[in-house]
Structure 1
Amino acid sequence: MNSYDVAIIGSGPGGYVAAIRCAQLGMKTAIIEKYATLGGTCLNVGCIPSKALLDSSHHYEDAVKHFEEHGIDIPGDIKVNLKQMIARKQSVVDQTTVGIEFLMKKNKIDVYQGIGAFKDATHITVTGEKTEEIEAKHIIIATGSKPSSLPFITLDKERVITSTEALKLKEIPKHLIVIGGGVIGLELGQVYRRLGSEVTVIEYMDRIIPTMDAGLSKELTKVFKKAKFNVNVSHKVKSVERNGDEVIVKADNKKGEEVEFKGDYCLVSVGRRPFTDGLNAEAAGVKLTDRGQIEVNEHLQTNVKNIYAIGDVIKGPMLAHKASEEGTLVAEVIAGQKPHIDYNLIPGVVYTWPEVAAVGKTEEELKEAGVAYKTGQFPMRALGRSRASMDLDGFVKVLADKTTDEILGVHMIGARAADMIAEVVVAMEYRASAEDIARMSHAHPTFAEATKEAALAATEDRALHI
């Protein structure tokens, strides 16, 4: 039997980063993955493939709608080759997963392929092509999450699908019905809308991206409606039936009236659930919550002192970068260091176009907490860089403490917002004031100037370019 200092169950962005950090800190490390490729949901059927399709579909939309205005004439009809688009997406996934394999070899991490199940608190049975047992002083659970559904929906994975199937369709839907107006549903909805599908979004809450600042939701709704999305909020789905190649979705609107939607595909995107199937956590004595999450303390330690859990399987937003930070933290805790994570400063991003990004508190949260705050907002269309690239939608909003001027939250929607948010995370990590950002030189012309202008507006209501 092989013995290790640390064994990690799951090789997603939490698990593989934890493995690398453990190895860097001198621990003999093993990682267990049930699928044939490393990288978990994010690399195989999540973040990476969805961004590949978003980029490909964005290029197509630009060619169809904007090239002529840029002075680029393309003879003949521009056509979508979905088969090639999916193949390119897969090549990106393959390159990335091979990169993780290389990192495991480079850091001398042993990889076990199979399902990892606890035998007890220090022994794991790995069931794959063969069954073997390993021993570890410390174990990190990084088994991630799976798409959720609704109890009355039958996911046939042909016409009634999850995000996994939506990433490898063999045809462009005529009418894609998306149940759920969150990140995953909106990103994949935008992919197929660009490619020519009619797209209907059905959301139970009173707005799309309901966990983000209401201003972002309002602006993204405006953008989507301009792109001829059918956006239906405050709708409670009550049945999804397939009849041949047709899917019929029935829902009650906010007046309680029944509404019927018909399409040829239905993407069920109502969130994700922690995945602990086959883990046999009870054999190790590990406690789960009534929501299926693994209970952890501030050090991400379970009730069993040598077992830790990270990522989607524990509380908090299900974000790849959150899982990676937690993987690093646990490795350093095991090594006797004193790391920390400020969960308030983990940014959230929606990779639609325009992109949506946020960090810190929303206006709704500040109001609910009774915090006195001031706000500064700047429209992207006022930037020279936005006009040059024709990316005019969106804004940056800075929320700062009314007395101290400390930045409490920043919410942005616009081109490259996913990259722009990093500046604000750094600023807030050092507890910067809005005036600090307002007085920093930002290169001209850039999209990031909107952050400076919004900070100026929050500081003394003195944005320069509006």
Structure 2
Amino acid sequence: MRQVKYIILGAGSSGLTALGQIRRETDDFVMINGGHFGTTCARVGCMPSKALIHCAEHFHARKHFYDFGIDGADGLTIDQPAVMKRVRAFRDRFTKGVQSGSTDTLTEEQLIKGYAKFVAPNVVEVNGERIQGERIIIATGSRPVVPTPWKTALGDRLLTSDEIFELETLPKRIAVIGLGVIGLELGQALSRIGVDVIGFEMTSTIAGLRSPSVSKEAVKLISKEFPIYLGEAAEIEATASGAKITVSSGTFEVDAVLASLGRRPNIDQIGIEHLGVELDERGMPPFNLQTMQVADLPVFIAGDVNGFRPILHEAGHEGKIAVLNAMQYPSIQSYKRKTALGVAFTDPQIASFGCGYDDLDLAESVVVEFNLERNNGRAIVMGEDRGMISLYADKALKRLVGGELMMPEAEHLAHLLAWAVEQEMDVLQLVRMPYYHPVLEEAVESAIQLLAKELYSPETLNALETC
């Protein structure tokens, strides 16, 4: 039986991060990958979706040309096949970029293409070969959730983010089932390039928003572009030409269905039971979020496969934690996790950072809301004065702890706020920061001032004016 020091299962963001560290130390490793190469983000996630969204934003802008004194908008058309061709070109560029210098440079002994399964705590089997590893990193990623009855009934009329970018011709009518970040982004983008979109979400919110006020505002704004039905599961029935979607509000016929029900960790088909540890109801082994170690084994689990925060930057961070601990095993070090940060590239953009609304102890917290409508000069001249900011602070510590935004450039503003949480800045420090005029950051300043008024005395705040 072949023996190596390190086994890396999966060549996604976490696995490639681990690979880079290990190669600096040794060639005594093997990477095993059974799926596509190029990472979920580059191949079917972040990058192709942003390429589609960017095209959609440009075409959608024509609807406001008249307001800015620009004529001729009615003559503009969209070439959907050309849009999708461009999306795939960027997709291919990014996936090749990911592989260049990483998996492309590995030998046949270092990179095995196949699906590995544990047969013992330190042994995996792939393509009929057994390999023993001193330390093992599980980074097998995730896959779209696809209900089997839907797939059986609809066949290739059922799409996920794994298939949508492969289409050369888009369906005329599409139902998006699941309005989390991915479903909402794709639904809005497809609607803007001429697809008749209708959205369904069984929860009462969209984009994973947890603030009731921001969620309500988001539903109000997004539903102006395509109809959204919340709060119940949709029934799906195949028809001769597509599908029939039924909710209490009515029945709708479409040509295809985009299932955006989240992603399932690829933990269930790797023989995880052979680790000899108790699994939870999801089939997940016990692991430490600060070390990525599974139980007390020389096994580490990182990225989408552990189901914690299935986002690229988190996968990279977890891959780094996992490989550092694998390399220094049996010495294990805990690492501080970064402040949570999430962005939906809708219009307006949606972002969240830090603590979620439903994780707050409301008796010990201050929650403020700032509505952007007619309240920010820069947004007004842009024609984008819509959306809301909600910020949360700890009463006792007087620190910003989290929040949600729906507004123009939320992706950038949320970074500033997440950095403030990461640095454990108190609200008074944020009030003291400089804010230029006229900028969108002034909306953040207004929300921070609302927090300050709840946390500090008028005397304290007045004293700032004389500093």
Smaller-chain TM-score bracket: 0.7 to 0.9
Change (3 A) 1:444 1:9: farther
For normalisation by structure 1, the TM-score amounts to 0.87
| 8 Å Cα contact 2:265-2:307 kept in structure 1 | no
- Which residue identity is paired with 1:177? A
Mapping 1:263-282, distance limit 5 Å: 263-282=254-273
Partner SS state of residue 206, structure 2: coil
| 8 Å Cα contact 1:442-1:448 kept in structure 2 | yes
Aligned match of 1:385 = 378
- Structure 1, residues 390-441: CA drift from partner, whole Å, max 9, x if none? 2222122221122332112121111221222111121111211122122111
Q: How many residues align?
A: 449
Separation in 2, partners of 1:458, 1:248: 48
For normalisation by structure 2, the TM-score amounts to 0.86
Aligned match of 1:260 = 251
Comparing 42-51 and 104-113, the one that deviates more: 104-113
Q: Which has the larger share of helix?
A: 2
Comparing 182-191 and 99-108, the one that deviates more: 99-108
Comparing 186-195 and 371-380, the one that deviates more: 371-380
Partner SS state of residue 438, structure 2: coil
Change (3 A) 1:35 1:230: same
| 8 Å Cα contact 1:159-1:245 kept in structure 2 | no
Give 2:335's match in structure 1, choosing from 334, 340, 361. 340
Aligned match of 1:256 = none
- Structure 1, residues 239-261: CA drift from partner, whole Å, max 9, x if none? 312112131122346xxxxx322
Identity across the alignment (%): 27
| 8 Å Cα contact 1:376-1:455 kept in structure 2 | no
| 8 Å Cα contact 2:367-2:390 kept in structure 1 | no
Separation in 1, partners of 2:313, 2:369: 28
Q: Please tell me whether residue 307 in structure 1 is matched to residue 299 in structure 2.
A: yes
| 8 Å Cα contact 1:286-1:304 kept in structure 2 | no
Aligned match of 2:247 = 251
How many angstroms does 1:22 deviate by?
3.5
How many angstroms does 1:101 deviate by?
1.9
Mapping 1:131-170, distance limit 5 Å: 134-150=131-147, 152-154=149-151, 156-170=154-168
How many angstroms does 1:171 deviate by?
2.8
| 8 Å Cα contact 1:159-1:265 kept in structure 2 | yes
How many angstroms does 1:221 deviate by?
0.8
Partner SS state of residue 154, structure 1: helix
Aligned match of 2:288 = 297
Separation in 2, partners of 1:21, 1:377: 44
- Which residue identity is paired with 1:172? L
Separation in 2, partners of 1:151, 1:75: 44
- Which residue identity is paired with 1:84? A
Change (3 A) 1:377 1:359: same
- Structure 1, residues 181-208: CA drift from partner, whole Å, max 9, x if none? 2112111111111012222212212232
Separation in 2, partners of 1:34, 1:429: 37
Q: Please tell me whether residue 193 in structure 1 is matched to residue 191 in structure 2.
A: yes
Give the superposed CA RMSD.
Answer: 2.9
For structure 2, which runs of at least 5 residues remain unmatched after alignment? 462-467
- Structure 1, residues 125-164: CA drift from partner, whole Å, max 9, x if none? 343xxx6554432111111211113454235452222222
Aligned match of 2:59 = 60
Separation in 1, partners of 2:398, 2:365: 11
How many angstroms does 1:349 deviate by?
1.7
| 8 Å Cα contact 2:214-2:389 kept in structure 1 | no
- Structure 1, residues 55-108: CA drift from partner, whole Å, max 9, x if none? 11111111x313444444458832222222122212222222222222416997
Change (3 A) 1:143 1:252: farther
| 8 Å Cα contact 1:157-1:165 kept in structure 2 | no
Aligned match of 1:455 = 448
Change (3 A) 1:105 1:200: closer
Give 2:366's match in structure 1, choosing from 362, 369, 373. 373
Separation in 1, partners of 2:13, 2:213: 30
